[in-house]
A = this chain, B = another copy of it.
């Protein structure tokens, strides 16, 4: 099954993190592949990197990406991330594979959409979760489960900045 968490609201990556710990609680093998997040210092990564049965792979740089003008390395990191996705699916060793922010990587054209759609054609027993806003209509159409996280209200809009331990 392939699950998608998209939309402009908070909770997409955190929902996938919750799925990871639920799976770990069942002694399932889990893989987390993150696009556009390398070297970022996240509370969840500090916690998860100590867990058994979980492999984490990050791709990207420690710089913010300009969606209108991505660097060469942004493209090559996205491509490497995609190759890791294929490798993890192909390995057949994971019960759950979370592909974090792949929807954004495709929307920003760091990764051709055909590559994301190719994942839907692979034969696998792994549960696959894809996160990130801007999921393409074709992706939504092909997925088995889609949740849109819709922002109703956010304190960022009243000038509160991202807080350590809460937002990252």
**When the two chains form their complex, are residues A10 and B47 in contact, meaning their CB atoms are under 8 A apart?**
no
Residues in B neighbouring A17, C-beta threshold 8 A: 14, 17-18, 21-22
| Copies per complex of this chain | 2
**When the two chains form their complex, are residues B11 and A23 in contact, meaning their CB atoms are under 8 A apart?**
no
Q: Mark A8-24, 1 if CB is under 8 A from B, else 0.
A: 01111111111101111
Known contacts A14-B14, A14-B19, A96-B165, then 18 further A-B pairs from the complex at CB < 8 Å, ordered by chain A residue? A1-B155, A1-B166, A11-B11, A14-B16, A14-B17, A15-B15, A17-B17, A17-B22, A18-B44, A21-B47, A26-B164, A140-B153, A144-B160, A145-B155, A146-B151, A146-B154, A147-B149, A150-B150
What residues make up the interface of A, taking CB atoms closer than 8 Å to B?
1, 3, 5, 7, 9-19, 21-26, 28, 42-48, 95-96, 127, 140, 143-155, 160, 164-166, 168
